[in-house]
Amino acid sequence: AANSSGNISVRPHGDETLPHQDIDLMKVVKNVMVPKSSGGLGLQLPLIVRFPDVLKNRLECLQSAFDSAVKSQGYGSHYQGVFPVKCNQDRFIVEDIVNFGSPFRFGLEAGSKPEILLAMSCLCKGNPDAFLVCNGFKDAEYVSLALLGRKLAFNTMIVLEQEHELDLVINLSQKMNVRPLIGLRAKLRTKQSNHYGSYSGEKGKFGLTSTQIVSVVAKLSESGMLDCLQLLHFHIGSMIPSSSLLSHGVSEAAQIYCELVRLGAHMKIIDVGGGLGIDYDGSKSGEPDQSVTYTLEEYAEAVVSSIRYVCHRRSVKHPVICSESGRAIVSHHSVLIFEAASDVKPVAHQPKPDDIQFLLQREEDLYAAVMRGDQESSLLYVEQLKQRCLEEFKEGVLSIEQLVSVDGLCEWVLKAIGGSDPVQTYNMNLSIFTSTPDHLGMGQLFPIVPIHKLDQKPGARGVLSDLTCDSDGKIVKFIGGESSLPLHEIDSYGGGGRYLLGLFLGGSYEETMGGVHNLFGGPSVVRVSQSDGPHSFVVTRAVSGQPSSDVLRAVQHEPEIMLQTLKHRAEEVMHTKGSGEEDENEYKNVAACLDRSFHNMPYLATEEGIS
Ligand code: PLP
C-alpha cells in the first residue's frame, strides 16, 4: 500500500489494524544509502531489502492453514513442512526459517551435498523432530553424508529418486552401521501442463515408476530393511494452478502410500512436494505460471481431504503430512530496489517557419494530410519521408544536420497529429540476467512499482531496459499482459532526482539462479525488522553488493594480480614521461582510480546518498 507521503509501505504482519507499525520502504532505502562519510552504511543500489517478519508471517500462515484443515476434517495426524533450501540458500533466510519454524517442527529439504551440509548445520539450532528431506541425484558421498546425519541424530530421510540409489543406501548403511530412514519419490501419472510441470508425468525426469517401486520394496524386504521405508514423496511441479489438479495428484500418491503399507513398509509420512503457488498478478485466474486459483487455506484443505479420503477407504492410519513449499514461503519477504531513468530523448526540433515552408514545398501530400487532421495518411507520409531522406543521406545528398532537421520535423508532425509513441524506454541500473533470470528464461512476470511518488499521477508509460549489452536485457511485458508500465516522467540519471522502482515477489529462485552476465554481480542486501523505535524499523544486517573484484574472481581472474599488473604498467608509462612531481601525482591518481574500480560495484555509480 502507499502511505500519506506517497511511498510504498510494508506491513510485515499483514495486520491492517496496526498501520502505525508499517515500514516506509523509501525511508529504509534513504537510511541505508547515507554515505559512510556521514556515518551511514553507504550502500549502493541495486538493493535487496529483506523483511524477516514477512518470512515469519508466511511460515505461520502456512502452518495455521494446515492446522485448521487437520482440525476441521478430524484428520488423525499433523502437518510438518520442510523448506527446500534451493529456493534461497541465503544463510540468514535458512536460519530464520529454522528458528521461526521450530515451534512447529519445521525442517529443511536439500538436493545436493552442499545443501545437506548447510541444512544440517542450520538444523543444529532447530527442533530435534524436524525432518531433513534429502532429494536429488545421489552418489556414495551424498548417501554417506545423509547417513552421517542419522548418526548425528538428524531426521535425514534419504528419498530415492533412481532405483540404483537403493544399492548405495543398503551397502553404505550396513558399512556405517546405521539404520537409514528411506523415502521414495513416485513418478506420478498426474501431470500438470504449465512450464513447471514439464518434469511431471510418466515421462518426467525424476522419481520411480510403479514397476521400480515394486522392485525397491522387494529389494528392501530381501535385505530386511522394509521397516526403513517410511516416506512417500512426489512433486508435480511448481505453481500448481488449481486445487483440483492438486487433489488428483495427492489422491494418486495417497493410493501408492496405501499400497506401500499393504506391501509391508512402515510408512509414516506423505510428502506432497512443492507446487504451492502464489498469485503474481493478483488475478486468481490460474493463468499458467502467473496465478493460482486457490488460497493457502484451500491448498491445505485439498491436500488434507484427499489423503484422508483415500486412507479412510483403505483403512490406513493417517500419515504425517509434509510439504516442500518454497516459492510460497520466501517470495514475499524481499523487494529488489533499483533506479530507473527515462531514455534521454533528442531535444525536439522546434520547426522554424522556413522549415514548414520547406515541408510545404517538398511534401505537399504530408502537409495536406496534417492540415486536414488525417492521422493515418500523415503517419504513412512521415514514414515515406524518413525513408527517402535516409536514402538521400546514404547517397551523400543530405548532410547530417539536414537529416536532424527532418527528424525534428517528423517528430513535430507526429506530435501535432497525436501519433508519437507514448511509450518511453526507462534504463534500469540493474541486470535482469543477475536479478530476474526467470523473466528471461520463462517469461515469469513480477509486480514492478515505483516505491515513491505514488501521490502523483504517472504521466508516462514505459518499458524497462537493463544495463547489460544484450538486447534480451529488457522487460516489455508486465503483470496483466500490459506492454508498458505507468511511470513518472523522469530525466536521465542525476537530473530531476532519483526514481526508484521495486520488484516484488522475487525472493525465491531469482537470487540463486542469477548469473554474472557482463559481470554485473549480486546487489546489496539489508535485513530490516519492525521496531518500536522512532522509524518503526531497524536494520539488523547490511551487506554491500559484490564488488568488481569478486565477479572477476568468479570467472578465474585474480584481481590482486590484475591490480598489480595495471599499476606496474602505469608506473612504466608514467616514468617514460619524466620523473617530476607532476608525474608522481598523476601516477598516484591513476593507482587510486584503479583501486576504486576493483572495490566498487559494477553497476552505474550515482552520487552517494539520496535526498
Ligand atoms: N521440491 C522439489 C522436489 C522441487 O523440485 C521443487 C521445485 O521445483 C520444490 C520442492 C519447491 O517447489 P515450490 O517452490 O513450487 O514450492
Calpha distance 573→246 (Å, rounded)? 69
Which pLDDT band holds residue 609 (cuts at 50, 70, 90)?
Answer: very low
What angle is formed at CA 569 by the lines to CA 565 and CA 572, rounded to 5 degrees?
140
Q: How far is the CA of 507 from the centre of ligand 1 (A)?
A: 14
Query: What are the pLDDT digits (tens) for 545-594?
Result: 999 999 999 999 999 999 999 999 999 888 766 667 777 888 999 999 99
Once rounded to an integer, what is the mean pLDDT over residues 195-216? 80
Domain ranges of the chain: 76-325, 353-416, 550-599
CA-325 nearest atom, ligand 1:
16
Q: For strand 485-487 and strand 460-465, is the pairing parallel, antiparallel, or unpaired?
A: antiparallel
| Residue 394 pLDDT greater than 90, yes or no | yes
| Residue 608 pLDDT greater than 60, yes or no | no
Nearest CA to ligand 1 atom 8: 238
Kindly state if the Cβ of 207 falls inside 6 Å of ligand 1.
Answer: no
Cell of 27: 525511508
Cell of 71: 482440525
Calpha distance 603→338 (Å, rounded)? 10
Share of the chain above pLDDT 70, in %: 92
Q: How far is the CA of 190 from the centre of ligand 1 (A)?
A: 16
Once rounded to an integer, what is the mean pLDDT over residues 66-89? 98
Instruction: Say which residue, 196 or 495, is predicted with more confidence.
Output: 196
Calpha distance 302→162 (Å, rounded)? 29
What totals of helices (H) and strands (E) does the chain contain, helices first? 20, 20
Kindly state if the Cβ of 325 falls inside 6 Å of ligand 1.
Answer: yes
Kindly state if the Cβ of 327 falls inside 6 Å of ligand 1.
Answer: yes
Question: 123-127, 145-149, 303-307, 361-365: which has the minimum mean pLDDT?
Answer: 361-365
pLDDT at 489 (0 to 100): 85
Kindly state if the Cβ of 135 falls inside 6 Å of ligand 1.
Answer: yes
| Residue 52 pLDDT greater than 90, yes or no | yes
pLDDT at 576 (0 to 100): 65
Calpha distance 201→203 (Å, rounded)? 6
Sort residue 468 into left (φ over 0), alpha (ψ -120 to 50) or beta: beta
Query: What are the pLDDT digits (tens) for 521-536?
Result: 999 999 999 888 777 8
Q: How far is the CA of 217 from the centre of ligand 1 (A)?
A: 26
Once rounded to an integer, what is the mean pLDDT over residues 375-380? 91
Alpha helices (H) along 494-580: 510-513, 548-554, 559-576
Kindly state if the Cβ of 197 falls inside 6 Å of ligand 1.
Answer: no
Kindly state if the Cβ of 233 falls inside 6 Å of ligand 1.
Answer: no
Q: How far is the CA of 437 from the centre of ligand 1 (A)?
A: 17
Nearest CA to ligand 1 atom 4: 274
Which pLDDT band holds residue 417 (cuts at 50, 70, 90)?
Answer: confident
Share of the chain above pLDDT 90, in %: 73
- 232 Cβ neighbours under 8 A, 6+ residues apart: 183, 184, 186, 253, 256, 257, 260, 267, 269, 270, 271
Q: How far is the CA of 170 from the centre of ligand 1 (A)?
A: 27
8 Å CB contact between 509 and 87:
yes
Residues with active-site annotation: 469
Q: Which DSSP state fits 7?
A: -
Query: What are the pLDDT digits (tens) for 334-358?
Result: 999 999 988 655 555 566 667 666 6
Q: For strand 131-134 and strand 155-160, is the pairing parallel, antiparallel, or unpaired?
A: parallel
Calpha distance 577→597 (Å, rounded)? 24
| Residue 494 pLDDT greater than 60, yes or no | no
Q: How far is the CA of 36 from the centre of ligand 1 (A)?
A: 41
Kindly state if the Cβ of 161 falls inside 6 Å of ligand 1.
Answer: no
Nearest CA to ligand 1 atom 6: 274
- For cell 513416485, the residue is 186
CATH architecture for segment(s) 76-325:
Alpha-Beta Barrel (3.20)
pLDDT at 515 (0 to 100): 87
Nearest CA to ligand 1 atom 12: 274
Residue among 146, 250, 228 nearest 183 (CA): 228
Cell of 198: 514439464
CA-206 nearest atom, ligand 1:
3
Which pLDDT band holds residue 284 (cuts at 50, 70, 90)?
Answer: confident
Q: How far is the CA of 84 from the centre of ligand 1 (A)?
A: 7
- For cell 556521514, the residue is 38
8 Å CB contact between 243 and 293:
yes
pLDDT at 405 (0 to 100): 82
Q: Cα-atom radius of gyration of the chain, to the nearest Å?
A: 30
| Residue 29 pLDDT greater than 80, yes or no | yes
CA-196 nearest atom, ligand 1:
8
Assign 291 to helix, strand or coil. Answer: coil
- Model's pTM, two decimal places? 0.90
Nearest CA to ligand 1 atom 11: 274
Assign 272 to helix, strand or coil. Answer: coil
Whole-complex ipTM: 0.99
Out of 86, 246, 332, 444, mutate this one to test ligand 1's pocket (max ligand atoms within 8 Å of CB): namely 86
Calpha distance 341→325 (Å, rounded)? 37
| Residue 33 pLDDT greater than 60, yes or no | yes
Residue type, 586: E
Calpha distance 459→197 (Å, rounded)? 40
| Most confidently modeled range among 120-129, 349-358, 392-401, 597-606 | 120-129
